[in-house]
Structure 1
Amino acid sequence: MAHLDSNRNGDTKPDLAPHKDIPLSDRSLDDLVKEAPPLVDDIPNGGVTAWLQVVGSFFLFFNSWGIVNAFGVFQTYYEADLLSSQTASSISWIGSIQAFLLLIVGVATGPLYDAGYFRALIFVGSFLTVFGMMMASICKEYWEVLLAQALCVGLGSACLFIPSVAIVSTYFTTKKSFATGIAASGSSLGGIIYPIVFHQLLPRVGFGWATRTLAFIMLATLTVPLTVMKVRVKPTQKRQLLQLSAFKELPFTFFSIAEFLGFMGLYVPFFYIQSYAIRSPHTHVEPSIAFYLLVILNVGSLFGRVIPNFLADKSGPLNMLLPCAKISAFLAFCWISIHSTAGLVMFCLLYGFFSGTFVSLPPTTVVSLSPNVAVVGTRMGMSFAFAGFGLLVGNPVAGAILGTGDNFTGVQAFCGGTVAAAAIFVLFARVSKVGLGLRSKA
């Protein structure tokens, strides 16, 4: 029994990877003992080394998703100044491509991580993100910004993202969702600090040095994961890039569709809330206050990536993601009728909180929908690809709906509709996995 997946909290979960196609009921106890990996008893599930990985992962999120969360402040500045000749849709392609690359390139960086190139990924990712922001600081033309901020920073962020997700899961068992949530909250803190620094420095030192200051912050904070993070155990086999048979399983298929739809609309407020507060004829928000709406969104998201994840360890990730997705869609539709400063502040806090689960919970959700740990990496990459394509098209579509006028109602309805559709497919995933029972953990 020692080689069953027994952690220090008494859980027993055998790894069935070597015979994943043979039903559990058809195997003897001796078979399970032989199949289980010998290192699983050593999973710390806490301790200094394990929590240092969370700290390191926190700063990887801080400098990957954190930059994506902060793009709204660049969107507003580019529309008003540097790229004022471009449409809102064209400008949003910069942030969308950056986020798309962060997710889609993970399909390739995942096998590199499995092959033992963890530190190489961190070094390359750190260089590309810092270099990209440095180059963005001297850009004058749209194509230059696209190459520096979209392509270079996006590729660098992709190198940082997969290690930030993969490392934490190897150090925790029963606290996995909570630890991942704490790490993912780094993206929200990045979305708070980077816009504030940029906004405060912009009128004092100009766009160039304001952007370079962000790059120096990135350089300093990325030394933390380079110092403290280390691989606990290497995968025993190479990861497949694709596992098409996964789409024969309805829960995974429905959840992948939910990822695509959810990320299509999820980041619309993060990109356009400032423009809405300043440009909409129905609002009366001072520009200096409008800027902080993006910060408030990320403050709400900071807590939304920790608290629901803590509860998800007990309820199951799908059971937590479903109500959060429903409430996010409801809030997006409510956004249409919110015009006051106080109302927008409350919207940003609540939407940030409930939408934050869409970034922090998918990794543990994919784990819960996988038959064994051997396919988790592949399926996570496939799921991230769906989310990446959603991010790629969602914000430019919102920008096209907005056009050169002030059709924010269409933008808000697009956000609410796509997130509501995502909630429906999360429901389908849950029902296809555990049925209609309200008390079933999923």
Structure 2
Amino acid sequence: MPDLSKETELQHQPVATEDEKSIPAEAGPTELSSTQKRWRPWQAVGACLIYFNSWGLTMSLGVYQAFYTTTLIPHESQARIGWISAMAFAMSFFGAVIAGPLVDAGHLKPVLTAGVVLTCFGLMMTSLCQHEYYQLLLAQGVVMGFGCGLLLLPSMSIPVVWFPTPKGMAIVFTLTGVATSIGGIIYSAMFHYIEHDSGWRWAVRATGFVSLGTSTAGAMMLQYKEAPAQRRKFFNLSMWNEPGFKGVLLAAFFAWGWAFTPINWLEGYYLHEQRIRHSDVQFWLVPIAFAGGIPGRIVLNGLAVKFGGFNTWALTVAACGILNFCWMAVHTQAAVIAFAFFYGFVVLGFSAVTTLAIMSLAPDRIDVGTRLSMAMLAAGLGLLAGFPLAGQILWSTESFTGMQAFTGAIMLLTFAIAMCVRHVHAGFTLKVI
């Protein structure tokens, strides 16, 4: 017998009109195609290779600064030599600010190509510099730094699209952070050993060749998940009206301007405390700090997923301030080594969760790139002020105590600003942000 209940049910179903039939069904979540699934892991590998060069090179400048101070241009003041590292860091951020809209406009490969070429060209020109301060400032500070910035932004923004979940982003940022630490260790060791055997010029050239090969491989791997839908603005002035955003920019200015001061002066501090001019232990201090950054990035990225990116970032800022005051009591060789490891653990973890901190305060993901660009600009300006000012304090007082106290005070001030921003967004609650 026919099923009459089904016939009755069909009779009572509304019949779709022609207009209703023309309306497409709501699209569900997009899935990766087979080609995209094959390319997805390589985006993380490519980002790691780019971070290995962009941040790895920039972070290893502490080794160069010690060499410039003691050997190449010892007649220059600490403040002037500090401008080389400050300019390289700042140009990295300024290059990233310029690269962002270009990448959003569909020019990923030209931006990466320019970054690879400028980074290698800056290193090769550095190897040709005579004992002239301005040549080092232009070649290593401006050209190499700007090239690293052009590489940095794509390696931050492209993987986020391929790994959009908080857990996926945390894993990618952890991997790229570890690559940064490994790059800092390798480039520092390369300069030390090759400079000892073949001279500093070939040490810089060898660094340039390694950078050219690895960054080219990384640039070939990175690609868009899909064509960019719209161009992003360099700046969005409407964000100034958002509660707390001015505080975020102010915190970025102070935090990035002074957080890396101990890393930059670790070698000089050790020589000053030990009353010696050269030591193998002196060289290993910066790589030890990078080694501390490997577990630091893993642990702090994990904490950021659980307790919130901005909460974790604020705590790392406070820890940096406290450790800078503790630095004043560090005098023996063992204490300096321990300080290098623990400060690297905190400060490199701080840099790893910065992106997650800014993203956690954004109302939506549409303008996160613009927020990152504005924060990078503030951080770059802070770096232009921080390193030279720290060097000037050291030069004028002929003691590290003033620089240590000033850096610690600035970082604790930044923590207070971060707490004000947190209060604006979450009040006095224990909300995860």
Q: Could you say whether these structures have the same fold, taking a TM-score greater than 0.5 normalized by the shorter chain as the test? A: yes
Alpha-carbon distance in 1 for matches of 2:262, 2:389: 13
Instruction: Kindly provide the amino acid, as one letter, of the partner of residue 42 in structure 2.
Output: L
1:303 paired to 2:310: no
Which of 395, 398, 420 is the aligned partner of 1:403?
Answer: 395
Distance 1:87 1:284, change over 3 A: closer
1:154 paired to 2:145: yes
Instruction: Kindly provide the amino acid, as one letter, of the partner of residue 310 in structure 1.
Output: G
8 Å contact 1:185–1:305 — kept in the other structure? yes
Q: Which residue of 2 aligns with 1:320?
A: 312
Q: Which residue of 1 aligns with 2:90?
A: 100
Instruction: Kindly provide the amino acid, as one letter, of the partner of residue 161 in structure 1.
Output: L
Alpha-carbon distance in 2 for matches of 1:188, 1:425: 28
Which of 363, 367, 374 is the aligned partner of 1:371?
Answer: 363
8 Å contact 1:332–1:415 — kept in the other structure? yes
Shift of 1:137: 0.5
8 Å contact 1:181–1:306 — kept in the other structure? yes
Alpha-carbon distance in 2 for matches of 1:89, 1:181: 33
| CA distances 1:267-311 after superposition (whole Å, capped 9, x unpaired) | 111110100000236x77962101111111111122222221123
Structure 1 window deviating more from structure 2 (307-316 vs 72-81): it is 307-316
Q: Which residue of 1 aligns with 2:197?
A: 204
1:293 paired to 2:268: no
Q: Which residue of 1 aligns with 2:257?
A: 264
| CA distances 1:214-262 after superposition (whole Å, capped 9, x unpaired) | 1111012113212322111233211111112212223332222111111
Which of 419, 424, 427 is the aligned partner of 2:411?
Answer: 419
8 Å contact 1:189–1:298 — kept in the other structure? yes
Q: Which residue of 1 aligns with 2:273?
A: 280
8 Å contact 2:310–2:361 — kept in the other structure? no
Q: How many residues align?
A: 406
Scaled by the length of structure 2, the TM-score of the pair is 0.89
8 Å contact 2:177–2:352 — kept in the other structure? yes
Alpha-carbon distance in 1 for matches of 2:96, 2:243: 23
Gaps (5+ residues) in structure 1? 1-33
8 Å contact 1:279–1:406 — kept in the other structure? no
Give the ranges of 4+ consecutive aligned residues of structure 1 lying more than 4 Å apart after TM superposition.
Answer: 36-44, 283-286
Alpha-carbon distance in 2 for matches of 1:85, 1:404: 15
1:112 paired to 2:102: yes
8 Å contact 2:94–2:146 — kept in the other structure? no
Which of 109, 112, 132 is the aligned partner of 1:122?
Answer: 112
Shift of 1:313: 1.7
| CA distances 1:116-149 after superposition (whole Å, capped 9, x unpaired) | 1111111110011011101101101111111111
Shift of 1:86: 1.0
Instruction: Kindly provide the amino acid, as one letter, of the partner of residue 223 in structure 1.
Output: T
1:181 paired to 2:147: no
1:66 paired to 2:56: yes
Alpha-carbon distance in 2 for matches of 1:82, 1:374: 48
Alpha-carbon distance in 2 for matches of 1:396, 1:124: 28
8 Å contact 2:297–2:349 — kept in the other structure? yes
8 Å contact 1:170–1:233 — kept in the other structure? no
Shift of 1:161: 0.8
CA-based RMSD of the aligned residues comes to: 2.2
| CA distances 1:313-355 after superposition (whole Å, capped 9, x unpaired) | 2221012112222112111110001101111111111111111
Shift of 1:48: 5.6
Q: How does 1:239-250 map onto structure 2 within 5 Å?
A: 239-250=232-243
Q: Which residue of 2 aligns with 1:222?
A: 215
Alpha-carbon distance in 2 for matches of 1:321, 1:289: 31
Q: Which residue of 2 aligns with 1:13?
A: none
Distance 1:138 1:87, change over 3 A: same
SS of the aligned residue for 1:81 comes to helix
Q: How does 1:340-379 map onto structure 2 within 5 Å?
A: 340-379=332-371
User: Highest CA radius of gyration, 1 or 2?
Assistant: 2
